[in-house]
């Protein structure tokens, strides 16, 4: 069992002092309109340059490097002209945990998290018989003989069963895409900024019923970087920063390749375990969260996570969505940059950047007033990781 008191002692000593991204609309236009190609390493390098400038630090300050799984850290370090004493690889959810642990253990003092993905330029396939090169760690590959070769198909099954059990409707689910496009409309960094209505959503074609076009994330190029350091050093730097106030992690692995965690439990057992950890470490509950950033490769992640983490009672997420809680001016602002559906699909990395910016009060027209706590949630394939960011 996790020792929540022990986690609480170290987690608050880690701060995010810098964030940076590439220009997502420009990256998108370069490929779609100009027929050019981006490079994952160049995207990551650009993002880190901006994150270091944001932090007021130089490359010589960085002694730890973690890169996203699209990159090799040896090559990334070579390109960046870095020689970190501590390095590693991880996805968005786990890279932050690795960096925080390195800082808390004294293995590094300034850790750069770098992600670059030219998935649009490269034509990366997330479905079809050759999806991801047939990598067997993705459970949907097991179902290729029956044509079920994409996460969209799996989440469609998951959503269909959830609707049957809870009464969630397509109109309810459509509130997620509509709200996130409203946030994106306020975000000059977002790719898809034109508002959509619920009627637009319902009129859009099904990709895998009951999931419509607007339930699917973008596929675009981009780079993201975050810079972590100790809370003490952050306080001496004289700039706004976010403190990591809580962390939770749990997995739904039992019968995962037979889809049990998806179709029977909607990842809720892992949601509840991670919730207990993160809220226990931070000393708050879901009612204290001012903004929530939820991984949304598909819109249905949102209702599953909101129910699983206790933002509403079981079976009542449809009412929560219908109330407009997630939209600008609502009581539970969600994915305030536009998320993966409308801002950029950076596989969870851009959600963390938005969390930090909301904490620092830098989001302009989309800024939520008086933000103290922002929660990040990722539950990809039942691997649930969550953080609470607190104003430093």
Catalytic positions: 295, 345
Question: What gap in Å lies between CA 264 and CA 178, rounded to an integer?
Answer: 28
Among all chains, which residue has been given the structure tokens 């929660």? 375
Q: What is the 3-state secondary structure (H, E, C) of 133-161?
A: HHCCCCHHHHHHHHCCCCHHHHHHHHHHH
Residue 225 bridge partners (DSSP): 20, 114
Q: Are 212 and 174 in contact (CB under 8 A)?
A: yes
Q: Are 285 and 279 in contact (CB under 8 A)?
A: yes
70 sits in the region (left: phi over 0; alpha: psi -120 to 50; else beta) called: alpha
Angle between helices 92-104 and 4-11 in degrees, nearest 10: 80
Query: Tell me, what DSSP letter sits at residue 216?
Result: B
- What percent of the residues of the chain are helix, what percent strand, and what percent coil, each to the nearest 5? 45, 20, 35
Residue 385 bridge partners (DSSP): 249, 378
Cβ atoms within 10 Å of 34's Cβ, excluding its own: 8
- Torsion angle of the four alpha carbons 41, 34, 124, 293, in this order, in degrees rounded to the nearest 10: 70
Q: Are 355 and 15 in contact (CB under 8 A)?
A: no
Question: What gap in Å lies between CA 339 and CA 333, rounded to an integer?
Answer: 12
Question: What gap in Å lies between CA 83 and CA 65, rounded to an integer?
Answer: 9
Give the residue ranges of DSSP H helices in 56-112.
73-80, 92-104
């Amino acid at each position: 069992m996790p020792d929540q008191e022990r986690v609480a002692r170290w987690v608050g000593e880690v701060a995010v002092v810098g964030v940076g991204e590439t220009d997502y609309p420009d990256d998108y236009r370069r490929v779609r309109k100009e027929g050019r190609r981006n490079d994952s390493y160049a995207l990551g390098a650009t993002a880190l340059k901006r994150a270091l400038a944001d932090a007021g630090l130089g490359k010589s300050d960085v002694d730890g490097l973690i890169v996203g799984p699209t990159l090799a850290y040896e090559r990334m370090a070579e390109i960046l002209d870095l020689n970190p004493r501590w390095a590693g690889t991880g996805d968005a959810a786990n890279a932050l945990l690795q960096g925080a642990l390195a800082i808390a253990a004294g293995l590094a003092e300034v850790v750069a998290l770098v992600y670059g993905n030219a998935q649009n330029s490269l034509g990366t396939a997330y479905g079809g018989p050759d999806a991801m090169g047939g990598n067997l760690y993705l459970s949907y590959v097991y179902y290729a003989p029956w044509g079920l070769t994409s996460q969209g198909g799996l989440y469609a099954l998951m959503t269909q069963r959830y609707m049957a059990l809870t009464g969630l409707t397509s109109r309810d689910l459509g509130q997620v895409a509509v709200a996130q496009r409203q946030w994106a409309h306020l975000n000059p960094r977002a790719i898809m900024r034109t508002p959509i209505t619920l009627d637009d959503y319902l009129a859009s074609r099904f990709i895998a019923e009951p999931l419509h076009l607007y339930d699917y994330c973008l596929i675009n190029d981009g780079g993201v970087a975050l810079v972590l350091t100790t809370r003490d050093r952050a306080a001496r730097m004289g700039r706004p920063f976010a403190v990591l106030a809580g962390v939770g992690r749990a997995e739904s692995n039992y019968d995962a390749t037979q889809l049990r965690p998806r179709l029977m439990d909607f990842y809720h057992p892992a949601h509840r375990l991670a919730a207990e950890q993160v809220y226990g470490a931070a000393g708050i509950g879901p009612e204290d969260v001012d903004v929530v950033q939820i991984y949304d490769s598909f819109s249905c992640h949102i209702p599953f996570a909101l129910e699983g983490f206790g933002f509403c009672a079981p079976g009542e997420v449809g009412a929560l969505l219908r109330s407009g809680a997630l939209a600008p001016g609502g009581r539970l602002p969600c994915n305030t940059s536009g998320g993966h559906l409308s801002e950029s699909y950076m596989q969870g990395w851009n959600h963390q950047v938005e969390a930090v910016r909301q904490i620092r009060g830098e989001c302009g027209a989309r800024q939520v007033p008086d933000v103290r706590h922002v929660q990040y949630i990722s539950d990809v394939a039942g691997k649930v990781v969550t953080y609470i960011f607190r104003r430093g």
